Amino acid sequence: MMRSVSQPEGVQSATVARITVHINHRLSHKLYDSLKELNVGRFFVEPSRMVLLQEKKRRSRLFARVLSLDENPAERISFCLPTDRVSQVATSLVQEFRFDLAGRGSLYIEHVTSYSPGRSTVHDSDEQSNEEAPSTASLDGFRTGLTGMTFILSNPDAGNQVAKTALELGVCVPYISLGVGTGIRDQLGLLRVTIPAEKEIVELVAPDHDAEGLLRLIVDECRLNQPGRGFAYLYPIHSAALSPRLRIGRQEHAASIEQIIGAIDELRGETRWRTRFATAGEQSDQADSLKRDEREVSLICSEGHSDSYVATASRIGVRGATTSKIRALGTDADADAAPVGVVAHERTTMIVSASLVESLVQGIVKDGLFEAENTGRIEITDVTAAYSYRRKR
């Protein structure tokens, strides 16, 4: 579990549950309404795409099956809740949106340390102290023992390449969103325009015991072990309701392989039976290139303001950041259901060495994240392993 960071003055921190929902775009407005009804406070929305494998009808005997990627509009919605409310909200969403049906979406829950200004639902109703461990009770109908995998990729269309590999390996339904990278590129002066800043961010969820193996496999398959291709990291997921169907179109059997695996998981009550990789230490030299003591720091602020915080991070020693455009919807809990003032927001994600987290938070707070905008917040979560290209010596 994360070490706590000393709390800057005037800032409230707490360990909370972050719920991320990837939802089919056609259901997104219904989800907004449900979140407002459930009184989750402010939630952040960004467009994404859900990628599935589509098996087309066989056209001739020569080409027995045609597999292509099917891209569908989706939205990534995230919000934080006190851990004692997670069960009620998550269960209600799963029941209403039936994530167990194909093409609807997925939901997962993480524990994060959240820093935010003033009074808010999340922190006010959180009775736990900063040091108290969050509730880890598993939720009915949710899968546990999972790890989140995020790939931040530089090349156009690399997102689909990772998604296809993940789908073919039967990992889960991948969701891709967009971001803009800042880092070394911004220190090149005007020459930076020659390097595309756009990034594709792929999010996957895999069983704990397979996550590193899958990471290595995807890194190899998608050549992330080449300079400038991108990086990836793993983080713990408390529980999740994942979309069951990775493949659409012609089905030759009564149940898909994902449905069979899901059923066995449920019978055995665990996922370790399907370990397919040796432990990380026994594998290739990439295991050595994984960094262990890292944190994911997510910074949310109104759009156009993240530059100064990223500059501060860069001064402190953070090598790069990825910023995505998001919208802040919902209501402020203590504002009598008045809508959020500024809708356009940004989420900046940085992978930071644990030793830098404290000075980073202090620096950003000193820069006025919580003074200038009452919607600013920082969320920090553990990173169990991070991979990025390192030049061989």
- What's the CA gap between 303 and 44, in Å, rounded? 12
- What's the CA gap between 31 and 10, in Å, rounded? 33
- Of 314, 348, 374, 381, the residue at the interface with other proteins (CB under 8 A) is 314
**Run of H or E including 200:** strand 198-207
Q: Answer yes or no whether residue 71 interacts with other proteins by CB under 8 A.
A: yes
Q: Answer yes or no whether residue 274 interacts with other proteins by CB under 8 A.
A: no
Query: Residue 209 CA to chain centroid, in angstroms?
Result: 19
- What's the CA gap between 15 and 314, in Å, rounded? 26
Residues 6 or more apart whose CB falls under 8 angstroms from that of 109 comprise 17, 18, 19, 20, 86, 90, 139, 142, 237, 238, 239, 240
| Minimum distance of other proteins from residue 178's CB (angstroms) | 6
Taking residues 121 to 160 in sequence order and writing x for each that binds other proteins by CB under 8 A, - otherwise, the string is --------------------------------------x-
Judged by beta carbon, residue 290 or residue 310, the one nearer other proteins is: 310
Q: Answer yes or no whether residue 374 interacts with other proteins by CB under 8 A.
A: no
Question: Which residues in 279-308 contact other proteins (CB under 8 A)?
Answer: 303-304, 307-308
CB burial readout 234-253, b (16+ within 10 A) else e: bbbbbbbbbbbbbbeeeeee
- What's the CA gap between 81 and 93, in Å, rounded? 14
Taking residues 80 to 119 in sequence order and writing x for each that binds other proteins by CB under 8 A, - otherwise, the string is ---------------------xxxx---------------
| Minimum distance of other proteins from residue 344's CB (angstroms) | 4
| Minimum distance of other proteins from residue 166's CB (angstroms) | 16
Q: Answer yes or no whether residue 42 interacts with other proteins by CB under 8 A.
A: no
Q: Answer yes or no whether residue 317 interacts with other proteins by CB under 8 A.
A: no
- What's the CA gap between 359 and 313, in Å, rounded? 9
Cβ contact 54:249 at 8 Å: yes
| Minimum distance of other proteins from residue 26's CB (angstroms) | 6
Cβ contact 27:104 at 8 Å: yes
Residues within the interface to other proteins (CB under 8 A)? 24-27, 29, 32, 45-49, 52, 70-73, 75, 101-104, 159, 176-178, 184, 186-195, 245, 248, 251, 255, 259, 303-304, 307-308, 311-312, 314-315, 325, 327, 329, 342-344
